Every structure is written in C-alpha cells, then in structure tokens.
Amino acid sequence: MIIGLIGFGKVSKNLFNLIKSDDIQFVTSFENRSSKTIEHIKKTDIEVFDSFKEVAVNSDILISATSPGSALDVAKNYGKYCDGIYLDLNNISPDTTFEIAGSVKNLVDGAIIGKIDSENPILYVAGKKSDDLQFLNEFITTKKISDNIGDAAILKLLRSSYTKTLSALLIESSEIARKNNLEDEFFEILALTEGDEFREKSISRINNTLDNSKRKSEELNQIIDYFDDEELIMVKAALKKLNR
Ligand SMILES: NC(=O)c1ccc[n+]([C@@H]2O[C@H](COP(=O)([O-])OP(=O)(O)OC[C@H]3O[C@@H](n4cnc5c(N)ncnc54)[C@H](OP(=O)(O)O)[C@@H]3O)[C@@H](O)[C@H]2O)c1
C-alpha cells in the first residue's frame, strides 16, 4: 500500500513515525516546498516524486496535512488525481470540508486529537470510506465518528469552542486571584476537584492562549461564523476577552 503525504510538518512526521509496516510505503514531493520541509523529508527514507500530482496518482491513501488556508487548493490541485482515499487532516471549517468533498473522489474528513508529537494521539474519521481506514488501528487509535462528511470538522470546532472559552475564563479568574495574592490557593482548591495536574495544565493552556491570541481569535471567529444560528454567548465573551 502507498500512502502519499502532502505537507510534511508535525502531523505528517508523527504519522510517518507511528505507521511502520513493511507493507506500507510513504511517498511525497519537494515541489515548491521550503528548505525546512525538504530537510525534514531528507532525514527519512520516504520516496520523493517530482510532483504532488504524481504522488496523488500513485497513492492508495493521500493525506493532506498542510495548513487550514491551503487545504482547499491542495484538494483542488492534487486531490482530484487520487483514485484512493483522500484523508484531510487540516483544521478547517465544515464548509471547507464540504467544498473539498466536491473536488475529490473518496473524502474522509479527519481530526487528530491529543498532543501531536506524542505516541498516542487519536485519529477520528468521518465519511463512508472511513471503514477502509480501520486497519490504521494497528499503528494509531483510529475511531470512526459516522458516515457523514463534516462530522469530524464539526467536532473539531466544538472542541475548540470549549477549550478556548475555558482558557479565556481561566485567564480572567487567575488574574483576579493574582491581584488578591491568592493565585496558588486558587489553583490548589480547583485541583481538589479538577485533578492533580490542573495547575500545570491550566498554566500551559493560559500561556498557549496568550502567545497565540491572534490565531485563537481567528479560530473563535470561525466558530461564530459557522454556528451563526446559535447564541454562542460564552464564545463571544471569550473572543472579547482575547481581543483585549
Ligand atoms: N499541530 C497540531 O497539533 C495539529 C493537530 C491537528 C491538526 N492539525 C492541522 O494539520 C495541518 C498540518 O499541521 P502541522 O502542525 O503539521 O503544520 P506544520 O508543521 O506547519 O507543517 C505544514 C506542512 O505543510 C506544508 N505545506 C503548506 N502548504 C502547502 C501546500 N500548499 N502544498 C504542499 N505542502 C504544503 C509545509 O511545507 P512548507 O514548509 O514548504 O510550507 C509543511 O511541510 C494544519 O492544517 C493543522 O491545522 C495540526
């Protein structure tokens, strides 16, 4: 079996490391790629084709893990040449997923949940063809959500809505705790119900949110755009907080 990779960043690199089998060959291309990506690819034994079109034509499974902004173009430009499964792992809105479904033959929409460079992220997949990806369980936990294209993208948005809103609330509450010289005690009493690692996880979440507040705000706007029939009072408040 041939698995083609479009994009060789953190996601693809980890999949390449996890999916090790004599029966599976990975292929990719240097076409228009940065020196950083080319260096990463050269450190592996992946077969390199001249073009992504060639990668697409030869792949039984073609994985797109590039960036949210390029996902649709990648599907339109290369995905259309793939007769196998097209697995999109980009963090894109369900609307983009539906557009991609119109450009490729056998779309599976996927979400990698969990720390990307860990040994045990979980791959969630949606779409009729996701049954054909169950063999991946040998290498990475692979859970089918449903036959409906878009369900993985919707779940990603809902997860993002929860985690980002919670981060905004944590930022607000811990700021007030600090002003009152009660920051340690604040985390300590929350850890009683939220678990021993609550402090470390919260601080990591707060720092990550503050360091990437522009991207996080864009993602919250994406949630508000997609679920425009919903009230989303909490998400809108989180956006207001992040924009401050
Ligand atoms: N990191 C995570 O925790 C995570 C988890 C789940 C999902 N995702 C999603 O998965 C995707 C990849 O994430 P990542 O963390 O692996 O990103 P990354 O480390 O930034 O790597 C992106 C890779 O895609 C390549 N690329 C970008 N545009 C391309 C194009 N038009 N054609 C071909 N290759 C292209 C980049 O090559 P160049 O260097 O040449 O630009 C690079 O090799 C993103 O959409 C992200 O939202 C990420």
Distance 7 CA to ligand 1 centre (A): 5
CA 62 to chain CA mean position, Å: 16
Distance 211 CA to ligand 1 centre (A): 19
Domain boundary among 148, 172, 202: 148
- Tell me: do 93 and 188 sit in the same domain: no
Confidence of residue 156 (pLDDT cuts 50, 70, 90): very high
Which residues are CB-contacts of 71 (< 8 A; sequence separation ≥ 6)? 64, 88, 90, 92, 96, 100
The listed range with the strongest mean pLDDT (99-113, 192-206, 216-230) is: 99-113
Q: Please give the C-alpha separations between residue 218 and each of 50, 67, 108, 155, 185, in angstroms, as whole numbers.
A: 35, 14, 25, 17, 33
Atom of ligand 1 nearest to the CA of 91: 47
Domain boundary among 115, 148, 181: 148
- Tell me: do 15 and 108 sit in the same domain: yes
Q: Please give the C-alpha separations between residue 60 and each of 1, 35, 159, in angstroms, as whole numbers.
A: 6, 27, 30
Atom of ligand 1 nearest to the CA of 10: 16
Ligand 1 close to Cβ of residue 27 (< 6 A) = no
- Tell me: do 55 and 109 sit in the same domain: yes
- Tell me: do 41 and 84 sit in the same domain: yes
Ligand 1 close to Cβ of residue 215 (< 6 A) = no
H helical segments located in the chain: 10-18, 35-42, 52-58, 71-77, 94-101, 151-179, 183-194, 198-211, 213-226, 233-243
Distance 244 CA to ligand 1 centre (A): 29
Ligand 1 close to Cβ of residue 35 (< 6 A) = no
- Tell me: do 139 and 159 sit in the same domain: no
CATH number at residue 209: 1.10.1040.10
Ligand 1 close to Cβ of residue 81 (< 6 A) = no
CA 72 to chain CA mean position, Å: 15
Confidence of residue 34 (pLDDT cuts 50, 70, 90): very high
pLDDT digits 0-9 by tens, 112-142: 998 777 778 999 999 999 999 999 999 999 9
- Tell me: do 137 and 22 sit in the same domain: yes
Ligand 1 close to Cβ of residue 89 (< 6 A) = yes
- Tell me: do 42 and 74 sit in the same domain: yes
Distance 9 CA to ligand 1 centre (A): 5
User: What does the pLDDT read at residue 240?
Assistant: 95
Q: Is 3 helix (H, G, I), strand (E, B) or coil?
A: strand
User: What does the pLDDT read at residue 116?
Assistant: 79
User: What does the pLDDT read at residue 195?
Assistant: 94
User: What does the pLDDT read at residue 117?
Assistant: 78
User: What does the pLDDT read at residue 114?
Assistant: 83
What is the residue-averaged pLDDT of the chain? Answer: 95
| Boundaries of domain holding 45 | 2-148
Is the CB of residue 81 less than 8 Å from the CB of residue 56? yes
* Total number of domains constituting the chain: 2
User: What does the pLDDT read at residue 227?
Assistant: 95
User: What does the pLDDT read at residue 151?
Assistant: 97
Is the CB of residue 94 less than 8 Å from the CB of residue 153? yes
What pTM, to 2 d.p., does this model score?
0.91
Distance 30 CA to ligand 1 centre (A): 14
Ligand 1 close to Cβ of residue 9 (< 6 A) = yes
- Tell me: do 18 and 83 sit in the same domain: yes
pLDDT digits 0-9 by tens, 62-81: 999 999 889 999 999 999 99
Enumerate the β-bridge partners of residue 189.
Answer: none
Is the CB of residue 14 less than 8 Å from the CB of residue 117? yes
Domain boundary among 107, 131, 148: 148
Atom of ligand 1 nearest to the CA of 36: 39
Ligand 1 close to Cβ of residue 10 (< 6 A) = yes
* pLDDT at position 15 over 90: yes
Ligand 1 close to Cβ of residue 116 (< 6 A) = yes
User: What does the pLDDT read at residue 41?
Assistant: 97
Residue where the block lists tokens 């999949």: 15
Identify the residue whose C-alpha is closest to ligand 1 atom 43.
8
- Tell me: do 68 and 162 sit in the same domain: no
Rounded average pLDDT over 204-211: 90
Rounded average pLDDT over 36-48: 96
DSSP 8-state secondary structure symbol assigned to residue 84: S
Distance 174 CA to ligand 1 centre (A): 33
- List the structure tokens of 51: 């073009």
User: What does the pLDDT read at residue 212?
Assistant: 86
